[in-house]
Structure 1
Amino acid sequence: MKNWLFNKTNKFFNGLYAFFMLLTLYFVIISANFTLGDTVTKKTLGTRTTKVTVIFLAFMLTLGLTLWGSPRSRQFLQKIFFKAACITVPFCLLLVCSWQIFFILTVHPAIGFDPQALHTALRDPSASELRGYFSLNQNNLFLLLVMHKLSVIFGTDSWVFFDFVSLILTDLSVLFNLTTLALIARKKVALGAYLQILWLALFPMIIVPYSDTWVLPFVSCFILCYVASFHSKLPTYLKLGAAISGGLCVGVIYFIKPSAIIPVIAVFLVEGLFLLCQKPTSWLTFSLGVLFLLGGIANSFIMLDHKLNTQTYIKIQASRALPPLHFISIGMTGDGGYDANEALIMAKLPTKTQKEAYAKKNIARQLKQKGFWGYLKFLFFKHQRNTSDGTFAWQQEGNFFTTKKPTNSNFLAEAVYAQGKYSADFRYIAQCWWLLIILLLGLGCHFKQTDPIVQMLKLTLIGGFLYLLLFEGGRSRYMIQFLPSLLILATLSADNAKNWLQRRFAWLK
């Protein structure tokens, strides 16, 4: 019975994962970001691609044909990027870090939407509109306190300073991811590094100091601690230290971005499932690891919750907080993303009971209007909006930058401002990277693999997809929080994807 349940559950997870990833792959391929020439939709960043995209495509085509037709070229690149990876990887990491620093120093505009409220509150937390904002959006309160502490320590609250904090946290996430890969499959560290280096080079979100990027290192650290504690050959004292560190990360993750704890849920589900058939090599070490992990979680929750409840930096009305039902309601309205009208209605309702009653009423109204098949159709296209954009909805938020045009026009500014000359080139190239990642995940689905780490990463992505379907979504910015799991799994899936392609295109040899 246990074996039957174990096999059936894993088969279900694999099937659901394959369904979501192949559907995502389809949406990525048909994305408007791949439009050459004039933009065909208002949702597409930029007005038209330029010769930059033509040069990029010509380079990629030339490189592909050269590698396909020249074994010597393949051997040469293999020698540089993989056999000499101990030199090449650090050099490329240093190069991309230099690129990020140059980018921040060149482009550092004031940001709008939610980060603007955080930044403004650093200078005037007494403003009534800010007290109202944080009373409603208490999920951003912890982030505000962290930013305030940093501004006091370093004596500045400039956008450039917080851009550099975002850069450090994002790059720290990459280092944690690579360490995790070193524990899982050391031979794949180089490939993982190159995939993440490409991501960093095409990730302008480092100039948006907000929870999307600030939560990344803590998610990556939790995954690393999980692997080190339960699936490594490290000494017992290091395993237990990793377990309590992972637990401490959970509280930080929850108070920065609650939805980012999905990997934590996946860990407990997968480990519970694998206990049915695979007993740990040492029950004592495993049990202590679980206790230390739970102890770390409890300790971090108690400390951080107490900090929030006793903070005096900004006065809020705790009873005005938006209930979870609101985010389900707003996730069913319009395109499933942020809806200013619904947010305004919620802000006007004074009590939690009234907010929940309105949310329930709207949920029932949306279900009735859409009907069963209509709601499935809505979810189908919502998943497209959630996952298809390789720019992670760059410039898609209302009031993304507080200024419409760059003060100093240069190539980088023209690439990241919404109507910049090269912004369409940026979204095209970023979409190519996203297609590569989703190809690795979609074609390397691991249908028969039942490795607990792989299953945990797959279940994290399944949970992420389901969360964005049920709650507020509608744009791919919310996928950023799942990038650690996604990038690690893409690296582990590479061999399966390569084998699949080799079998399908063997006739070309």
Structure 2
Amino acid sequence: MSSMYQLFFKCLQKIMWLLLLFWLAVVVKHLLALPWIGIGLTVIIGLLYLVKKELLGRAYAYAMCHKKVLLTLALLFQIAVVLSANLLVRRDAAVVITGALHLIEEQSISNYLTRNPNNLALFLYARGLYHLFGQATIWLLQVLGILYMNGTAYILYRVGRDFSSQRVADMVFSLYLVLLGFSPYVIQTYTDITSLPFLAAQLYLMVALLKEEEKGTQRLCLLGLVTALASVLRPTALVIVIAFGMVLFLKGNWQRFIHAMAVLGCSFGLIFGSLSYGMNQQKEVKIVHDETLAKGLTTFINLGLTYSGTDQEDMKKGLLQYIAPERRSNYNNGMFAQANELKEIKRRLHAYTPISFIGHLGYKLENTLYDGALNWLYTKPEDEKTPLISPLYIYTKDNAVAEVIRQSVIEYDGKYYAAYKAIKQVVWVVTVIGLFGVVWRYRSDDAMNFLSLSLFGGMLFLMIFEGGKTRYLLQFFPQIVLLSSLGLTRMFQKERKI
């Protein structure tokens, strides 16, 4: 192992130790801030662990012997959420999906995608399904969402089982199932869930490549394909690729590093280039290709520099000052011109003092990390700007069971949502404890160092670009769940390294 490798990852371990300590403090703080049910649930679980540790262990072992039953219950939960939902899609996703299904004017979706070309892939995906299935596409998207969510659980389970141990695999299964399997995210048709199986497949292939001594040309080609598909939906899929390349580079095996990067680069470039060309040539929607009209990389840096890291109105207000007053009310007014973006970034940076900038980063990071419910924000349809109301809502509106599900799980301001949020927050605390356990001390382990680096890279990305919502952690969720499972397993039983 090269000295450069050791030095780099020992420094990373110290940085992650501080980051995870902050993360743990944040999630505990927000758990204690919940109504009495949050504190009560924590106390009960703590007492059970201290007094009935063996009983809890047997219960967990019994549950792990009946995973099919748990998956069935999760599937029934997901179906119940889909059938009870009053609101299927909201905000940006609603514009994209309704545009793909011809439920809004063509000019509206054209204007939107001209401004937000990052959502073109999702639009074409939904429009392609529409050509095949018509208005039934909205339900097909729900079915696919269930497949994506549960398929990701299986891939991550296999990562733990194939490259570590059954105990780690069981822990991955448990954390994922509680945090996402039993969650309302199944009805969300945005790229958060759609990209998950591709991100999980990336992780599987990279851990496999780090574990094997051979060059793994076929796996590298497959990794390029999966990465291309993932990055079309979520450009942050490249963060984990950078971490993978850095591990190989720092190990000092130049022949393997050059081979891996060459094969991966060619495979990725061929697929991604073909997909990009196809999207540029598409005729489904008219898009005006003008950099002054479209949000680009600098737009999201600019947005990330707003105090919360996600204040769209503040970002637009800042850019509009460079536009003539008579043109400011126009939707496509050219405010996203690169020159305007750079001026605004400089202005925002100069407006911060060292203390206020640290406060901005702390506030943004806290809001990125704190929420065990993963920033679920669905409300009543009448409170949404661009909702896509479920066609079943007219039949379930007065159904008592459906209303209880809505008030407990779907509407974050519902009567019983606090209980759901408290359960999620307790599990989120446990998840972060597991992450902290991984970085407690340095380990010269390629796969673990790779996972830590990719998670750190994800956090750094969210601090530079748009951040400030726990939902954004979903694009790094495979790393979070796997790392936490490794940490929790090591804390309770000695495990061989991944």
TM above 0.5: yes
Look up the match of 1:358. Answer: 340
Residue 388 (structure 1) aligned with residue 388 (structure 2): no
Distance 1:35 1:25, change over 3 A: same
**Letter of the 1:413 counterpart:** R
Give the Cα–Cα distance (whole angstroms) in 1 for the partners of residues 467 and 57 of structure 2. 44
Following TM superposition, by how much is the alpha carbon of 1:116 offset from its aligned partner in structure 2, in angstroms? 0.9
Following TM superposition, by how much is the alpha carbon of 1:379 offset from its aligned partner in structure 2, in angstroms? 0.5
Look up the match of 1:41. Answer: none
Look up the match of 1:378. Answer: 360
Residue 316 (structure 1) aligned with residue 301 (structure 2): no
Distance 1:458 1:401, change over 3 A: farther
Where do residues 197-346 of structure 1 align in structure 2 (5 Å cutoff)? 197-232=177-212, 239-274=216-251, 276=252, 279=253, 289-319=260-290, 320-343=293-316, 345=319
Under a length normalisation based on structure 1, what TM-score does the superposition of the two structures give?
A: 0.84
Aligned identity (percent) is 20
Cα deviation per residue 1:315-369 (whole Å; 9 max; x = unaligned)?
A: 10121321211111111124210413534757856558x6222222222222222
| SS of residue matched to 1:110 | strand
Aligned residues: 468
Give the Cα–Cα distance (whole angstroms) in 2 for the partners of residues 411 and 9 of structure 1. 51
Look up the match of 2:106. Answer: 127
Look up the match of 1:183. Answer: 162
Equivalent pair of 2:77/2:182 in contact (CA under 8 Å) = no
Equivalent pair of 2:451/2:479 in contact (CA under 8 Å) = yes
| SS of residue matched to 1:437 | helix
Mark the runs of 5 or more structure 2 residues left unpaired by the alignment: 321-329
Where do residues 56-135 of structure 1 align in structure 2 (5 Å cutoff)? 57=40, 64-70=46-52, 73-74=55-56, 76-77=58-59, 79-81=61-63, 85=64, 87-107=65-85, 109-124=87-102, 127-135=106-114
Where do residues 132-211 of structure 1 align in structure 2 (5 Å cutoff)? 132-187=111-166, 188-211=168-191
Equivalent pair of 1:13/1:459 in contact (CA under 8 Å) = yes
Cα deviation per residue 1:261-311 (whole Å; 9 max; x = unaligned)?
A: 21111111112112x2xx59xx67x76555432232112111101111111
Following TM superposition, by how much is the alpha carbon of 1:496 offset from its aligned partner in structure 2, in angstroms? 3.9
Look up the match of 1:413. Answer: 406
Look up the match of 2:476. Answer: 482
Equivalent pair of 2:191/2:234 in contact (CA under 8 Å) = yes
Distance 1:6 1:162, change over 3 A: same
Mark the runs of 5 or more structure 1 residues left unpaired by the alignment: 38-52, 501-509
- CA-atom RMSD, angstroms? 3.0
Under a length normalisation based on structure 2, what TM-score does the superposition of the two structures give?
A: 0.85
Cα deviation per residue 1:168-191 (whole Å; 9 max; x = unaligned)?
A: 112111111111112220232112
| SS of residue matched to 1:410 | helix
Equivalent pair of 1:326/1:355 in contact (CA under 8 Å) = no
Give the Cα–Cα distance (whole angstroms) in 2 for the partners of residues 304 and 311 of structure 1. 11
Residue 429 (structure 1) aligned with residue 416 (structure 2): no
Distance 1:362 1:155, change over 3 A: same
Distance 1:486 1:67, change over 3 A: closer
Following TM superposition, by how much is the alpha carbon of 1:136 offset from its aligned partner in structure 2, in angstroms? 1.2
Distance 1:289 1:463, change over 3 A: closer
Following TM superposition, by how much is the alpha carbon of 1:33 offset from its aligned partner in structure 2, in angstroms? 7.5
Give the Cα–Cα distance (whole angstroms) in 1 for the partners of residues 468 and 486 of structure 2. 28
Give the Cα–Cα distance (whole angstroms) in 2 for the partners of residues 63 and 332 of structure 1. 40
Look up the match of 1:25. Answer: 24
Equivalent pair of 2:227/2:237 in contact (CA under 8 Å) = no
Following TM superposition, by how much is the alpha carbon of 1:61 offset from its aligned partner in structure 2, in angstroms? 5.1
Following TM superposition, by how much is the alpha carbon of 1:3 offset from its aligned partner in structure 2, in angstroms? 3.5
